[in-house]
Amino acid sequence: MKSYEKLLLENKAWAKEKVTDDPEYFSRLVNLQTPEFLWIGCSDSRVPANEITGTQPGEIFVHRNIANMVVNTDLNLLSVLSYAVETLKVKHIIVCGHYGCGGVKAAMTNHNLGIINKWLRNIKDVHRFHRAEVDSIQHEDQRLNRMIELNVMEQVMNLAKTSIVQKAWKHNNMPHLHGWVYDLHDGIINPVFEMAAGTHIDPIYEFDDL
Ligand code: CO
Protein backbone atom coordinates (compact mmCIF):
# COMPACT_ATOMS: atom_id res chain seq x y z
CA MET A 1 0.00 0.00 0.00
CA LYS A 2 1.27 3.47 -0.88
CA SER A 3 1.67 5.94 1.97
CA TYR A 4 -1.08 8.25 0.77
CA GLU A 5 -3.52 5.35 0.38
CA LYS A 6 -3.25 4.78 4.10
CA LEU A 7 -4.63 8.29 4.62
CA LEU A 8 -7.75 7.48 2.62
CA LEU A 9 -8.25 4.22 4.50
CA GLU A 10 -7.82 5.96 7.83
CA ASN A 11 -10.28 8.60 6.69
CA LYS A 12 -12.95 5.97 6.02
CA ALA A 13 -12.35 4.40 9.42
CA TRP A 14 -12.55 7.83 11.11
CA ALA A 15 -15.81 8.78 9.38
CA LYS A 16 -17.34 5.43 10.33
CA GLU A 17 -16.28 5.82 13.94
CA LYS A 18 -17.76 9.32 14.15
CA VAL A 19 -21.15 8.18 12.85
CA THR A 20 -21.13 5.13 15.10
CA ASP A 21 -20.54 7.34 18.14
CA ASP A 22 -22.97 10.05 17.04
CA PRO A 23 -25.28 9.44 14.04
CA GLU A 24 -25.98 13.20 13.67
CA TYR A 25 -22.29 14.17 13.71
CA PHE A 26 -21.89 15.13 10.06
CA SER A 27 -25.40 16.43 9.39
CA ARG A 28 -24.97 18.84 12.29
CA LEU A 29 -21.59 20.13 11.06
CA VAL A 30 -22.73 20.49 7.45
CA ASN A 31 -25.38 22.99 8.43
CA LEU A 32 -23.43 25.07 10.89
CA GLN A 33 -20.02 26.68 11.26
CA THR A 34 -19.83 28.86 14.35
CA PRO A 35 -16.27 28.66 15.64
CA GLU A 36 -15.42 30.92 18.56
CA PHE A 37 -11.71 30.99 17.73
CA LEU A 38 -9.40 31.95 14.89
CA TRP A 39 -6.06 30.15 15.12
CA ILE A 40 -3.00 31.54 13.38
CA GLY A 41 -0.32 28.90 13.75
CA CYS A 42 2.90 27.60 12.23
CA SER A 43 2.71 25.17 9.29
CA ASP A 44 4.94 22.79 11.29
CA SER A 45 3.33 19.33 11.15
CA ARG A 46 3.88 18.81 14.87
CA VAL A 47 1.54 21.61 15.94
CA PRO A 48 -1.99 20.61 14.87
CA ALA A 49 -4.44 23.18 16.26
CA ASN A 50 -7.37 20.87 17.01
CA GLU A 51 -5.37 18.01 18.45
CA ILE A 52 -3.30 20.01 20.96
CA THR A 53 -6.33 21.99 22.19
CA GLY A 54 -8.71 19.05 22.38
CA THR A 55 -11.15 20.73 20.01
CA GLN A 56 -13.38 19.17 17.39
CA PRO A 57 -14.09 20.05 13.74
CA GLY A 58 -16.24 23.19 13.76
CA GLU A 59 -14.60 24.76 16.81
CA ILE A 60 -11.54 26.54 15.40
CA PHE A 61 -11.11 28.50 12.16
CA VAL A 62 -7.49 27.90 11.15
CA HIS A 63 -4.80 29.73 9.21
CA ARG A 64 -1.25 28.40 9.19
CA ASN A 65 1.95 29.64 7.56
CA ILE A 66 5.69 29.47 8.20
CA ALA A 67 6.34 30.90 11.69
CA ASN A 68 2.72 32.01 12.32
CA MET A 69 3.15 35.44 10.77
CA VAL A 70 0.64 38.28 10.42
CA VAL A 71 1.94 40.15 7.37
CA ASN A 72 -0.14 43.15 6.40
CA THR A 73 0.20 42.57 2.66
CA ASP A 74 -0.67 38.86 2.83
CA LEU A 75 -4.01 38.54 1.01
CA ASN A 76 -4.43 34.99 2.26
CA LEU A 77 -4.10 35.97 5.94
CA LEU A 78 -6.21 39.11 5.46
CA SER A 79 -8.99 37.17 3.75
CA VAL A 80 -9.06 34.62 6.57
CA LEU A 81 -8.98 37.39 9.17
CA SER A 82 -11.75 39.35 7.48
CA TYR A 83 -14.02 36.32 7.17
CA ALA A 84 -13.33 35.15 10.72
CA VAL A 85 -13.93 38.55 12.30
CA GLU A 86 -16.67 40.05 10.12
CA THR A 87 -18.71 36.99 9.17
CA LEU A 88 -17.99 34.28 11.74
CA LYS A 89 -17.55 36.91 14.46
CA VAL A 90 -14.93 34.94 16.39
CA LYS A 91 -14.48 36.01 20.00
CA HIS A 92 -10.78 35.19 20.22
CA ILE A 93 -7.81 35.19 17.85
CA ILE A 94 -4.89 33.06 18.92
CA VAL A 95 -1.43 33.43 17.40
CA CYS A 96 0.35 30.24 18.40
CA GLY A 97 4.08 29.80 17.83
CA HIS A 98 6.21 26.92 19.04
CA TYR A 99 9.61 26.72 20.72
CA GLY A 100 12.35 25.57 18.35
CA CYS A 101 10.48 26.96 15.31
CA GLY A 102 12.59 26.34 12.20
CA GLY A 103 11.24 29.46 10.51
CA VAL A 104 12.41 31.77 13.28
CA LYS A 105 15.68 29.87 13.55
CA ALA A 106 16.36 30.31 9.82
CA ALA A 107 15.53 34.02 10.03
CA MET A 108 18.23 34.45 12.68
CA THR A 109 20.93 33.18 10.29
CA ASN A 110 22.39 34.78 7.17
CA HIS A 111 21.60 31.82 4.92
CA ASN A 112 20.20 32.62 1.48
CA LEU A 113 17.11 30.43 1.16
CA GLY A 114 15.66 31.81 -2.08
CA ILE A 115 12.02 32.80 -2.08
CA ILE A 116 11.70 32.08 1.67
CA ASN A 117 14.06 35.03 2.29
CA LYS A 118 11.16 37.35 1.56
CA TRP A 119 8.94 35.73 4.17
CA LEU A 120 11.70 35.50 6.78
CA ARG A 121 12.52 39.19 6.35
CA ASN A 122 9.44 39.92 8.47
CA ILE A 123 10.99 37.91 11.32
CA LYS A 124 14.35 39.63 10.89
CA ASP A 125 12.48 42.89 11.51
CA VAL A 126 11.23 41.49 14.84
CA HIS A 127 14.83 40.66 15.72
CA ARG A 128 15.89 44.20 14.88
CA PHE A 129 13.14 45.74 17.08
CA HIS A 130 14.23 43.59 20.03
CA ARG A 131 17.94 43.26 19.28
CA ALA A 132 19.18 44.52 22.66
CA GLU A 133 17.16 41.96 24.62
CA VAL A 134 17.59 39.03 22.22
CA ASP A 135 21.32 39.42 21.65
CA SER A 136 21.98 39.73 25.39
CA ILE A 137 20.91 36.09 25.86
CA GLN A 138 24.05 33.93 25.77
CA HIS A 139 22.53 30.47 25.40
CA GLU A 140 21.60 29.80 21.76
CA ASP A 141 18.39 27.82 22.36
CA GLN A 142 17.17 30.32 24.97
CA ARG A 143 17.90 33.18 22.57
CA LEU A 144 15.87 31.46 19.83
CA ASN A 145 13.00 30.72 22.19
CA ARG A 146 12.81 34.29 23.45
CA MET A 147 12.75 35.45 19.82
CA ILE A 148 9.85 33.05 19.23
CA GLU A 149 7.93 34.61 22.15
CA LEU A 150 8.68 38.13 20.91
CA ASN A 151 7.66 37.16 17.38
CA VAL A 152 4.27 35.94 18.65
CA MET A 153 3.85 39.22 20.55
CA GLU A 154 4.66 41.27 17.43
CA GLN A 155 2.21 39.24 15.32
CA VAL A 156 -0.55 39.87 17.89
CA MET A 157 0.28 43.58 17.66
CA ASN A 158 0.17 43.32 13.86
CA LEU A 159 -3.40 42.04 14.20
CA ALA A 160 -4.29 45.08 16.31
CA LYS A 161 -2.86 47.36 13.60
CA THR A 162 -5.36 46.11 11.00
CA SER A 163 -8.51 48.07 10.25
CA ILE A 164 -10.40 44.75 10.41
CA VAL A 165 -9.59 44.22 14.09
CA GLN A 166 -9.88 47.91 15.03
CA LYS A 167 -13.32 48.14 13.44
CA ALA A 168 -14.53 45.03 15.30
CA TRP A 169 -13.09 46.38 18.56
CA LYS A 170 -14.96 49.65 18.10
CA HIS A 171 -18.33 48.18 17.16
CA ASN A 172 -18.43 44.76 18.89
CA ASN A 173 -15.76 44.93 21.59
CA MET A 174 -14.34 41.73 20.08
CA PRO A 175 -12.16 39.80 19.34
CA HIS A 176 -9.65 39.41 22.14
CA LEU A 177 -6.11 38.63 20.98
CA HIS A 178 -3.82 36.01 22.48
CA GLY A 179 -0.18 35.11 21.91
CA TRP A 180 0.77 31.56 22.83
CA VAL A 181 3.85 29.38 22.42
CA TYR A 182 3.59 25.59 22.27
CA ASP A 183 6.35 23.41 23.68
CA LEU A 184 7.09 20.35 21.54
CA HIS A 185 8.89 18.70 24.48
CA ASP A 186 5.89 18.38 26.77
CA GLY A 187 2.88 19.41 24.67
CA ILE A 188 2.10 22.37 26.91
CA ILE A 189 1.05 25.80 25.60
CA ASN A 190 2.61 28.82 27.30
CA PRO A 191 0.49 32.01 27.09
CA VAL A 192 2.95 34.88 26.60
CA PHE A 193 0.94 37.93 25.54
CA GLU A 194 -2.63 39.25 25.48
CA MET A 195 -4.51 42.21 24.07
CA ALA A 196 -8.09 42.59 25.22
CA ALA A 197 -10.47 44.15 22.70
CA GLY A 198 -10.09 47.93 22.77
CA THR A 199 -6.52 47.97 24.06
CA HIS A 200 -4.82 51.20 23.08
CA ILE A 201 -2.07 50.80 20.55
CA ASP A 202 0.56 53.21 19.30
CA PRO A 203 -1.62 56.07 17.95
CA ILE A 204 0.17 56.16 14.63
CA TYR A 205 -1.58 52.87 13.79
CA GLU A 206 -5.07 53.96 14.85
CA PHE A 207 -7.70 54.66 12.18
CA ASP A 208 -10.16 57.46 12.92
CA ASP A 209 -12.92 56.66 10.41
CA LEU A 210 -14.00 53.10 11.26
CO1 CO B 1 7.50 26.67 13.13
Looking up residue 144, the CATH number of its domain turns out to be 3.40.1050.10
Distance (Å) from CA 103 to ligand 1 centroid = 5
CA distance 104 to 207: 30
Residue 33 has pLDDT above 90, yes or no: no
CA distance 99 to 84: 26
- Annotated active-site residue 101? The verdict is yes
- 39 and 1 together in one domain: no
Distance (Å) from CA 120 to ligand 1 centroid = 12
- Domain limits for position 20: 1-32
105 is a domain residue: yes
Hey, which residues does 78 pair with through a beta bridge?
none
Q: Enter the pTM of the model.
A: 0.96
Catalytic residue among 63, 96, 98, 146: 98
Residue 32 has pLDDT above 90, yes or no: no
CA distance 141 to 125: 19
- Quick one: average pLDDT of 46-73? 97
- Annotated active-site residue 96? The verdict is no
Apex CA 209: angle with CA 79 and CA 153, to 5°? 50
**pLDDT recorded at residue 186:** 98
Catalytic residue among 63, 101, 146, 178: 101
Distance (Å) from CA 81 to ligand 1 centroid = 20
154 is a domain residue: yes
Catalytic residue among 44, 96, 146, 178: 44
Confidence of residue 204 (pLDDT cuts 50, 70, 90): very high
Residue 199 has pLDDT above 90, yes or no: yes
- Annotated active-site residue 74? The verdict is no
Residues 6+ apart with CB under 8 A from 64: 39, 40, 41, 42, 43, 49
Catalytic residue among 22, 28, 46, 183: 46
- 120 and 46 together in one domain: yes
- pLDDT over 90 for what percent of the chain? 96
Q: What are phi and psi of 33, to 5 degrees?
A: -130, 105
204 is a domain residue: no
- pLDDT over 70 for what percent of the chain? 100
Residue 181 has pLDDT above 90, yes or no: yes
Give the total number of structural domains in the chain: 2
Distance (Å) from CA 60 to ligand 1 centroid = 19
Distance (Å) from CA 20 to ligand 1 centroid = 36
**Helix (H) / strand (E) containing 146:** helix 140-160
Distance (Å) from CA 64 to ligand 1 centroid = 10
**Helix (H) / strand (E) containing 170:** helix 163-172
- 52 and 117 together in one domain: yes
